[in-house]
Structure 1
Amino acid sequence: MLIIGKGQFEALGATNAEVMMKRLEKHIRMYFGDGVEDLSEEEIQDLLKRNWKRANGYGLKTELGVCAFLNAVCALGEDFTADCAWASPLLEDQQLSEDLKRDDLERQVRIELSAC
């Protein structure tokens, strides 16, 4: 039987978080390059960390959920939760599963962008 100590478990969690951050950074640079091209590596990391925490606060905890939230931030701005009337009620709805919340968020962002 393999036993993983608390310190080892925490180290694995930190490693997974770092890997996820790198994937999210690559995604943001690939799909939102024009909007983030002037940001330094440190500024991108701050953007990701800040909005990862915000996404988690809304129940978006998986990589796909956090990525959907970051897509909304990059497409609509960091204040989209205040600027878009639909955002806060959707994100604060505790009755929705993360998958449904993510799907609805992605759909609403597409609707918002198509109106521009």
Structure 2
Amino acid sequence: MLTIRRYQFEAFAIATQRAFEARMLAHLARCWPARVAEMTEPRAAALVRAAAARAREHGLIREFEVGRFIDCCFVLGPEFEADPRCAWAAPILGSGRSARERADQLWSRTRRFLVEGEGAEDR
């Protein structure tokens, strides 16, 4: 029988997290190259880590859901859900819908917010 020890599991978790961060940084660079160029890589990585932790606090745990939340943090600001200009975010995150539905609705509303230009010049 194969036994995975705690330190092995922890090493795997760290490697998995780093791989996710690398994928997210590459995704952000593809989608918003000008914004990424304004940041140092350590700053962008810190934003990804902090946003992923907050996504989990909102019950968003799958990679897709966390990625959507990170996208929102990247384009709206690191604590967008507390920003009065994004008052629509907290009710979405707190709704009883599934995590996937909340992530999709959050991104849909974020896109509308950006298209309508609500506060976009301040970001």
Whether 1:107 aligns to 2:76 is: no
Alpha-carbon offset, residue 7 of structure 1: 1.3
1:100 and 1:46 mapped to 2: Cα distance? 26
Secondary structure of the corresponding residue to residue 61 of structure 2: coil
Whether 1:56 aligns to 2:56 is: yes
Match of 1:76? 76
1:43 and 1:103 mapped to 2: Cα distance? 26
| Matched letter for residue 89 of structure 2 | A
Matched-pair identity in %? 29
Give the root-mean-square deviation of aligned CA atoms. 1.4
**Unaligned stretches of 5+ in structure 1?**
none
| Matched letter for residue 32 of structure 1 | W
Secondary structure of the corresponding residue to residue 39 of structure 1: coil
Match of 1:38? 38
TM-score normalised by structure 1 residue count: 0.89
CA deviation string 1:72-97 (max 9, x = no partner): 1222222421221210111123x222
2:4 and 2:78 mapped to 1: Cα distance? 39
2:103 and 2:27 mapped to 1: Cα distance? 17
1:38 and 1:86 mapped to 2: Cα distance? 28
TM-score normalised by structure 2 residue count: 0.85
Secondary structure of the corresponding residue to residue 23 of structure 2: helix
| Matched letter for residue 3 of structure 1 | T
| Matched letter for residue 106 of structure 2 | L
| Matched letter for residue 89 of structure 1 | P
Q: How many residues of Structure 1 are paired with residues of Structure 2 in the alignment?
A: 115
CA deviation string 1:31-66 (max 9, x = no partner): 111112121111111111111111111111121111
Match of 1:86? 88
> What stretches of structure 1 move > 6 A for 4+ residues in a row?
none
**Unaligned stretches of 5+ in structure 2?**
118-123
